Amino acid sequence: MVMSNEENFWRILVNQCRQEQRQNSSTQESAAIVRLADFLLQETAACNASDLHIEPLGGELRFRLRIDGLLTVMPYRLPGDIASSLISRIKVLANMDIAKHQQPQDGAFVFSAGERKIDVRAAVMPVYGGEMLVLRLMNLQEELLTLDELGFLPDVKQKFRELIHRPAGLVIVSGAMGCGKSTTLNKTE
């Protein structure tokens, strides 16, 4: 069985987390978990994924990426004895209460992936076997499209322009995930 460099790095990080937990030093314990969380975020950004799902499954955590609307399982698993430390680390990043395990929470943070700044929206939900996290990644440096570049049909674009320039009222933009709601709403004229 041939393993990639990333898979070898993952195994090393997991072993470091276990060693630091055995040493029971709180300052050292967080160091490997910080590196592990950073590795997951960097891998997610490198794959241009829009979401990272962290889910308890059979006493472990599994990781899935949403790339172009499809969920793909990552080759990494995190043993259950380390799972709560990773979830706590992400909760801390997102300014969530790490003591609350039985109620949904959400938060946000920004991290750097190379030259890019990535905005991460985090949501945690109690589920069977622990807590599930979903991280939504958005590139803050990505250029926004103009209204003309959004792909509206000419008559729809004209009606949209009329609606957004009215002095009062409400425009509701709805649709499936990844269909362009945020892109549309970030456009101003």
SS3 3: coil
pLDDT, position 28: 43
SS3 99: coil
Evaluate if residue 178 carries a pLDDT over 70.
no
- CA 181 to chain CA centroid, Å, is 18
pLDDT digits (tens, 9 = 90+) for 89-132: 999 999 999 999 999 999 999 998 888 888 999 999 999 989 99
Q: Which two tokens stand for residue 85?
A: 């430390």
pLDDT band for position 23 (cuts 50, 70, 90)? confident
Share of the chain above pLDDT 70, in %: 87
Average pLDDT, the chain: 85
Please count the other Cβ atoms lying within 10 Å of the Cβ belonging to residue 158. Answer: 11
Q: Which two tokens stand for residue 117?
A: 């700044």
135 within 8 A of 120, measured Cβ to Cβ: yes
CA angle (64 as vertex; 84, 49 as ends), nearest 5: 115
pLDDT, position 27: 47
Domain covering 5-139: architecture: 2-Layer Sandwich (3.30)
Please count the other Cβ atoms lying within 10 Å of the Cβ belonging to residue 80. Answer: 15
CA dihedral for 125, 48, 139, 71, sign (positive or negative): negative
Q: Three-class SS string for 144-168?
A: CCCHHHCCCCHHHHHHHHHHHCCCC
Please give the helix or strand (H or E) that residue 90 lies within, else none: helix 80-93
Chain region(s) in the chain for CATH 3.30.450.90? 5-139
Report strand pairing: 116-127 vs 51-57. unpaired
CA dihedral for 157, 189, 143, 146, sign (positive or negative): positive
Q: Which DSSP symbol is given to 71?
A: E
pLDDT band for position 133 (cuts 50, 70, 90)? very high
Distance CA 167, CA 133 (A): 40
pLDDT band for position 148 (cuts 50, 70, 90)? confident
